[in-house]
A and B are shown apart, each in its own frame.
Chain A
């Protein structure tokens, strides 16, 4: 299934770049990756959705779960998304009010 995950580190943030389609078939891999990051001590995470072509409610649920997880460690989760079709999913579910959202990874890691 088409999902690409790539982790790098920047300025104390773990940056998870996601590409492809996030649905109920691929979301478990995203969830596992995020849990691994938190368990490895990364409590400040940027999820870069810039190369995501499709995101459904399962994907939103995984991101909500990750936000909850980092918060129990006093951490932070920021999302990078500038694609209107993906932003729309956050907007219509009201989740833009729940997540810190940025237009680029640069902006996300600079915000404090």
Chain B
């Protein structure tokens, strides 16, 4: 049976710890998700929420968009789907690949831009969907395959 947990969070950095706690707790009961996979999920969701909050932050001294961000966590068929929605007006995905690779010395000029690569690496699939007034990030997490059983000796 599907299990859905939906959170509406104020778009402030201090709610990130709470978002991590909740998604971790939702998945904690799933026997196929071990601690390492739950850590992956917490980090990816935290990165997506960070982007959502930053997208709504005020520029040039205004208060930004005060509407809450939405975190929707769905457990179904042994996998976890997490959607993070903001009202931040969307972002330019084409600009994401402009950073030099991490081993390039000039990469040190960029302190940002690691969040979305992390989400891509930690999730099994991710989709960035443009909504009417922002972005929806939909991440799918599969459990890691169990290690091969040890032969009985």
Q: Residues on A close to B: CB < 8 A?
A: 1-2, 21, 23-25, 54, 56-58, 60-62, 64-65, 67-68, 71, 84-85, 88-89, 92-95, 97-98
CA distance A112 to B44 in the complex (A): 36
Give the residue name and chain of the A residue nearest to B44 (CB).
A56
Q: Which residues of B contact A94 (CB under 8 A)?
A: 101-103
Q: Which residues of B contact A89 (CB under 8 A)?
A: 43, 118
The distance from the CB of A9 to the nearest CB of chain B, in whole angstroms, is 26
Known contacts A62-B111, A67-B108, A98-B107, A2 near B17 by CB under 8 Å = yes
Contact between chains at B14 and A1 (CB < 8 Å): yes
Contact between chains at B50 and A93 (CB < 8 Å): no
Contact between chains at A98 and B53 (CB < 8 Å): no
Name the prevailing secondary structure of the A interface residues. Answer: helix
Contact between chains at A24 and B118 (CB < 8 Å): no
Interface residues on B, range: 20 to 34
Q: Which residues of A contact B17 (CB under 8 A)?
A: 1-2, 21, 23, 25
Give the residue name and chain of the A residue nearest to B50 (CB).
A24
Q: Which residues of A contact B110 (CB under 8 A)?
A: 64
Q: Which residues of A contact B101 (CB under 8 A)?
A: 94
Q: Which of A68, A93, A97 contacts B118 (CB 8 A)?
A: A93
Mark each residue of chain B from 11 to 27: 1 if its CB lies under 8 Å from any CB of chain A, else 0: 00110110010000000
Q: Which of B39, B54, B122 contacts A24 (CB 8 A)?
A: B54
Give the residue name and chain of the B residue nearest to A56 (CB).
B46
CA distance A60 to B115 in the complex (A): 10
Q: Which residues of A contact B50 (CB under 8 A)?
A: 23-24, 56-58
Give the residue name and chain of the A residue nearest to B17 (CB).
A21
CA distance A21 to B39 in the complex (A): 13
CA distance A57 to B115 in the complex (A): 5
Q: Answer yes or no: B28 CB below 8 A from chain A CBs.
A: no
Between-chain CB contacts (< 8 Å), 27 pairs = A1-B17, A2-B17, A23-B16, A23-B17, A24-B50, A25-B14, A56-B43, A56-B50, A56-B115, A56-B118, A58-B50, A60-B114, A61-B112, A64-B107, A64-B111, A68-B109, A84-B36, A88-B39, A92-B121, A92-B122, A93-B117, A94-B102, A94-B103, A97-B103, A98-B102, A98-B107, A98-B108
